[in-house]
């Protein structure tokens, strides 16, 4: 008997220690990704001689030199302050409304809510039923979030004209759908034991949610709300391109008139605004014990250590709440007439617009052009996310604190010299990432068009630079939040810093890196439209032509093609993200 048990243990160990085959799902997906990147590079014509404009280098150099002496005249500083307030007001309104819609939609789109309402509970487990309304709601929410906020803005301009309501609605609708999706995932991943206990005691589902699930998920919901606020600031700047006002509008006007000193003044205001929100978010998340702003890879809420909130954290939370309310009240300086939403004139214009766009113009002769432009759009998004992912992984490590003296990768050195240079590298890298993500992708595209001819290459580089700053910051947060105990154990066993990095830091962080890259690929796919609107190619260029010629029926056909393409990217991204969990 002992020999039989010993052989059984050996067999089980052999089974569990079997090395995975070379050709598995992950390797096949990796080969597919490499092939997609090579194919995308081939579509750009990167090795042709007509992609670079030699005459634009002098203009580009003049633009860079202007950063050393921005326009600081009192008149322009006053204009910059007004534009900053407008951008902040749009972001505040958009975030507040999108979070409200996201909370309502997130509850309705969560599986746990409908299980609480329609499912019976017995033997301490939820029992499934035949209906799945959360899947229907999630499918409906995928439609508004597939359309970029700039396209929503162009639509609402036809209804309301150049009104602040355009920018607010353009941010609220797609961001509300995105927030609802993320909030529903957070609620579904939150431990359900307290909820089950309340439901089994006869408490109604709404009360059980309020007293059990929502308090547990609150730090994570708040953390993502700050991330969405940062995104709203960038979107408010983008919407300035269509005349909505704010910093984006002023940057576009100065860029068109080649007043580079003014451009850098507006840029620095945008950097300061984004940096302040980033610092505020990091401070609040640190005191609340929340994880990084966007956890997409693993179910961290399941069985993880709950964040401890002490008195100081309560004070920080209270001060942040007061600050948020104060900013929202200051945003009231932007006069918004909400009665336009249900005014007879609005309803009339909406009916006329719908009559002009439906039924869409489905012409078989256009399918070839749509297919070619769709492949260009897909190639642009793939190149953009490849550039952003590679650059983010290279810059995230110097942007994290683990390289500072006393950090995991530098535990011995405590010299002031190392502290000084480590801090300088940290600040420079974070500043570079801040600049990269603060400048909207269409502005990057317009700058690159100084030295590159129009096509998918400047659009891909512009999207890559913008998303590089976002991915680099998120990846740096992942590194800083790694569990240091296994890394310290490696050091105690005599491992050098490069070995700790290769066998401890990188394997633990890489799955989360890939998850972030895939998530941003979905966003890059949506953002290809906005760089296309400024001449970067793809479906965005066709949308520009159809908008300028008022060909709304063909415009709807192009949008439907773009939505289908976006859904395909979402499915591919979600499939690979599940694989790397």
Residue 156: what pLDDT?
87
What is the Cα–Cα distance from 471 to 464, expressed in whole angstroms? 10
78-82, 263-267, 409-413, 493-497, range with the lowest pLDDT? 409-413
What is the CATH code of the structural domain delimited by 385-579? 1.10.3720.10
Whole-model pTM: value is 0.82
What is the Cα–Cα distance from 286 to 100, expressed in whole angstroms? 24
DSSP string, 295-364: --SS-TTSSPPPPP--HHHHHHHHHHHHHHHHHHHHGGGS---GGGGS-HHHHHHHHHHHHHH-S----G
CATH classification number, 71-346, choose in 1.10.20.10, 3.40.630.40, 1.10.238.10, 1.10.3720.10: 1.10.3720.10
Residue 501: which pLDDT band, with cuts at 50, 70 and 90?
confident
Residue 145: what pLDDT?
83
Residue 300: what pLDDT?
47
Percent of the chain with pLDDT over 70: 84
Residue 297: what pLDDT?
39
Residue 412: what pLDDT?
59
Question: Which of 473, 481, 462 is closest to 430 using CA atoms?
Answer: 473
235-249, 255-269, 278-292, range with the lowest pLDDT? 278-292
**Domain limits of the chain?**
71-346, 385-579
> Dihedral (C-alpha) 131, 135, 140, 142: value to the nearest 10 degrees?
-170
Across residues 404-419, what is the average pLDDT? 64
Q: Residues 155, 253, 331, CA angle at the centre, nearest 5°?
A: 65
Residue 374: what pLDDT?
86
Model pLDDT for residues 85-105, shown as the tens digit of each residue: 889 889 988 998 999 999 999
Residue 434 predicted with pLDDT over 60: yes
Three-class DSSP labels, 371-382: HHHHHHHHHHHH
Residue 75: which pLDDT band, with cuts at 50, 70 and 90?
very high
Residue 23 predicted with pLDDT over 90: no
Half-sphere exposure (CA, 13 Å, Cβ side) for 31?
7
Model pLDDT for residues 158-191, shown as the tens digit of each residue: 888 888 888 899 999 999 999 998 898 888 888 8
Q: Do domains 71-346 and 385-579 have the same CATH topology?
A: yes
Model pLDDT for residues 3-19, shown as the tens digit of each residue: 444 444 445 444 444 55
Residue 28: what pLDDT?
75
Q: Is 69 helix (H, G, I), strand (E, B) or coil?
A: coil
Q: Which residues pair with 122 in a beta bridge?
A: 125
Residue 124: which pLDDT band, with cuts at 50, 70 and 90?
very low
Residue 9: what pLDDT?
42
Model pLDDT for residues 516-555, shown as the tens digit of each residue: 898 888 888 888 888 877 767 778 888 877 877 777 788 8
Residue 409: what pLDDT?
65
Q: Which two tokens stand for residue 444?
A: 């990057």
471 versus 300: the higher-pLDDT residue is 471
Residue 305: what pLDDT?
46
Most confident of 121-125, 319-323, 559-563: 559-563
What is the Cα–Cα distance from 281 to 224, expressed in whole angstroms? 10
453 versus 579: the higher-pLDDT residue is 453
Residue 248 predicted with pLDDT over 80: yes
Residue 452: what pLDDT?
83
Residue 29 predicted with pLDDT over 50: yes
Percent of the chain with pLDDT over 90: 13
């Amino acid at each position: 008997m002992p020999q039989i048990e010993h052989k059984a243990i050996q067999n089980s160990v052999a089974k569990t220690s079997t090395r995975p085959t070379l050709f598995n799902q992950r390797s096949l997906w990796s080969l597919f990704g490499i092939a997609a990147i090579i194919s995308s590079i081939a579509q750009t014509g990167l090795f042709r001689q007509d992609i670079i404009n030699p005459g634009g280098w002098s203009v580009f150099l003049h633009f860079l030199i202007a950063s050393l002496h921005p326009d600081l005249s009192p008149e322009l500083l006053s204009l910059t302050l007004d534009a900053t307030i407008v951008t902040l007001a749009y972001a505040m309104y958009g975030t507040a409304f999108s979070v409200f819609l996201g909370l309502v939609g997130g509850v309705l789109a969560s599986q746990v809510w409908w299980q609480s309402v329609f499912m019976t509970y017995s033997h301490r487990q939820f029992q499934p039923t035949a209906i799945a309304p959360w899947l229907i709601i999630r499918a409906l929410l995928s439609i508004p979030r597939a359309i970029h906020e700039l396209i929503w803005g162009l639509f609402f301009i036809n209804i309301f004209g150049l009104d602040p309501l355009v920018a607010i609605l353009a941010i609220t609708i797609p961001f509300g759908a995105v927030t609802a999706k993320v909030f529903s995932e957070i609620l579904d991943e939150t431990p359900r034991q307290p909820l089950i206990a309340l439901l089994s005691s006869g408490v109604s589902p709404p009360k059980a949610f309020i007293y059990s699930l929502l308090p547990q998920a609150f730090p994570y919901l708040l953390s993502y709300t700050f991330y969405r606020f940062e995104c709203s600031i960038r979107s408010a700047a983008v919407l300035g391109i269509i005349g909505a006002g704010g910093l984006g509008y002023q940057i576009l006007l100065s860029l068109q008139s080649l007043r580079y000193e003014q451009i850098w003044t507006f840029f620095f205001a945008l950097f300061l605004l984004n940096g302040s929100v980033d610092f505020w978010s990091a401070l609040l998340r640190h005191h609340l014990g929340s994880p990084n702003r966007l956890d997409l890879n693993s179910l961290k809420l399941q069985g993880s250590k709950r964040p401890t909130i002490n008195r100081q954290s309560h004070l920080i939370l209270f001060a942040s709440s007061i600050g948020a309310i104060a900013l929202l009240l200051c945003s009231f300086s932007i006069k918004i007439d909400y009665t336009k939403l249900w005014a007879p004139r609005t309803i009339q214009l909406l009916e006329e617009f719908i009559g002009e766009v439906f039924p869409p113009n489905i012409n078989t002769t256009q399918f070839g052009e749509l297919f070619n432009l769709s492949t260009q759009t897909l190639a642009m998004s793939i190149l953009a996310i490849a550039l952003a992912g590679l650059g983010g992984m290279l810059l995230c490590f110097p942007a994290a604190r683990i390289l500072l003296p006393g950090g995991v990768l530098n535990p011995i050195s405590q010299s002031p010299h190392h502290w000084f240079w480590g801090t300088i590298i940290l600040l420079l890298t974070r500043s570079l990432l801040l600049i990269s993500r603060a400048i909207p992708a269409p502005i990057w595209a317009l700058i690159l068009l100084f030295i590159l001819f129009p096509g998918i290459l400047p659009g891909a580089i512009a999207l890559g630079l913008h998303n590089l700053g976002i991915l680099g910051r998120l990846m740096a947060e992942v590194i800083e939040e790694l569990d240091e105990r296994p890394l310290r154990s490696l050091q105690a066993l005599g491992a050098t810093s490069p070995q700790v990095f290769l066998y401890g830091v990188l394997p633990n962080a890489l799955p989360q890196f890939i998850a972030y890259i895939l998530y941003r690929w979905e966003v890059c796919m949506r953002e290809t439209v906005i760089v296309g609107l400024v001449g970067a190619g793809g479906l965005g260029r066709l949308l520009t032509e159809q908008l300028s010629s008022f060909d709304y029926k063909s415009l709807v056909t192009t949008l439907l093609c773009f939505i289908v393409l976006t859904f395909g990217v979402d499915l591919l991204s979600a499939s690979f993200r599940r694989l790397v969990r």
